[in-house]
Amino acid sequence: MTKNYHQLYPRRLTAVDYTNEETYRYTRPHVSAAMTIHPDAFTSTEFYAIEQERIFANSWIAVGCLSDLQKLGDVIVADVAGQSIIVTRNKEGQLRAFYNVCRHRGAKMLDHDCTHVRSARIRCPYHSWAFDLDGNCIGTPLFEGSDIPEDQRGIFDMGGVDAFDRADYGLFNVRVESWGFLIFVNLNPDAAPLVQQLGDLPQRFAGYRLEEWVVAREKIYDMQCNYKLVGENFMEYYHLPWVHPELIKVSRMEDHYRWQGPGMYTGMTTTPISQNSDSGGWLGLPPLSTLSEVNRIAARFIWLFPNIAINVMPNHCFIMMANPAGPNRTIERCRLLVHPESEGNEGREAAIDDLLHFWDLVNIQDVDIVERVQAGLTMRPYVGGRMCYHFEEPLHRYQNMVIDKMVGIDRIPPGDAKESVPMFVNGNGD
């Protein structure tokens, strides 16, 4: 099959090919016989544009954390599929989301770095139209009923405007839901609920009380690679001995298992978690006291489709939002969260700093290697490689999720036939 693959697969495809099932015929077989997806999936501007519409405009996309919206007037401004979205809570504490566009003349209202609006109002900087946190239009200068001071209204009189009702000019709503500490939006008003994408993850993490965890640290990485390479690097341990000499001291190869049920995700676990080395590790803060004995010694690693890594430890969480900024650029927003019992713990801040330092060490090593892969994918002879059975099953699972979306198939991958399948046995996966 490998010979035919190189003979028949053209190095350069067209936009029409990217939505054709036949294009992916070498990636569809079982992982033991599969080839990786065509490199255009990581380098083509045409593939990227279709992917933005078919995947990011039609999936639940994580945009922030519940702890980002603690006070009335707190907002998240996020880019999803090329659209700017505002997420907030109304006065009743319910999540609300809107397109970041004024209903008057279409101005973008809030800047990307905005985190709070005064007086619980979203106000357009162009003509000062104002909207409450439910998206209702509550102020329209130049129109009747505006909030312009009384002594200035004369010069803005628009009493002759016919058939204007502010109720008709609220913000455009976006679907928003949450799971655990994460907030998701979906630009497709007819999409299935978030729980369908999550699959069995709510059950798997039921004992962690994730909705109570709060962001303690953050770090941003500007990566010159496709966002999918970030995910694929995350979901396989094949590269650990050569790329992460510090990590394998606290996350032993023989302690890795696949850990995935039905849902739009890939999953792995390390159990037991090893003690910290001189370079650091995942210990430091005490574990959440209400965890089961199994969860108190295990690290869970989830890549939730399409672009977020969720690393859940007994004592902290580390998430990586791989936000695509083009076919060959990713802005990775990493956040470290801690459970509520850590508050007031002696040495808490130093322990959190140590955890972030270790994650940063591992992440910098990954940035270098995925940027090398991005560069290699542009080489003319390369049209894909053979997947390594056992080690790269999660990568195969993920690439087929991407293919499904590109060709218009709506399905949820099933779980593994066996729970906690070892990824390494005797060092060779046999």
Tens of pLDDT, residues 39-61: 999 999 999 999 999 999 999 99
**CA–CA gap between residue 215 and residue 37 (Å, rounded):** 35
How many beta carbons lie within 10 A of that of residue 331, not counting itself?
16
Extract the tokens encoding 291: 């965890």
Global pTM reads: 0.90
Query: For tokens 């800047």, what's the residue?
Result: 111
* pLDDT band (50, 70, 90) for residue 427: very low
Return the closest-CA partner of residue 117 out of 104, 143, 98: 98
Distance between the two ends of the chain, CA-based, in angstroms?
23
- Per-residue confidence at 254, pLDDT binned at 50, 70, 90? low
d(CA 176, CA 194): 9
The total of other beta-carbon atoms located within 10 Å of residue 426's CB is 8
Burial label, 200 (beta-carbon count in 10 A; 0-12, 13-18, 19+): middle
For 188-200, the pLDDT digits (tens) are 999 999 999 999 9
Instruction: Determine contact, residues 391/238, Cβ cutoff 8 Å.
Output: yes
Q: Which residue has the tokens 């405007």?
A: 161
Mean pLDDT across the chain: 87
- Kindly tell me if the per-residue pLDDT of 126 is higher than 60: yes
Q: What is the pLDDT of residue 428?
A: 38
272 prior amide bond cis, ω within 30: yes
Asked if 328 contacts 374 with a C-beta cutoff of 8 angstroms, the reply is: yes
Q: Which domains does the chain have, with CATH numbers?
A: 61-175 (2.102.10.10), 202-422 (3.90.380.10)
Report pLDDT digits (tens) over 283-293: 788 999 999 99
Distance from C-alpha of 166 to C-alpha of 154, rounded to nearest angstrom: 20
Contacts 24+ apart (CB under 8 A), 316-319: 316/216, 316/282, 316/285, 316/342, 316/352, 316/355, 317/181, 317/210, 317/213, 318/355, 318/359, 319/62, 319/182
Instruction: Grade residue 425 by pLDDT with cuts at 50, 70 and 90.
Output: low
pLDDT of residue 392: 86
Report the C-alpha gap between 111 and 185 in whole angstroms. Answer: 18
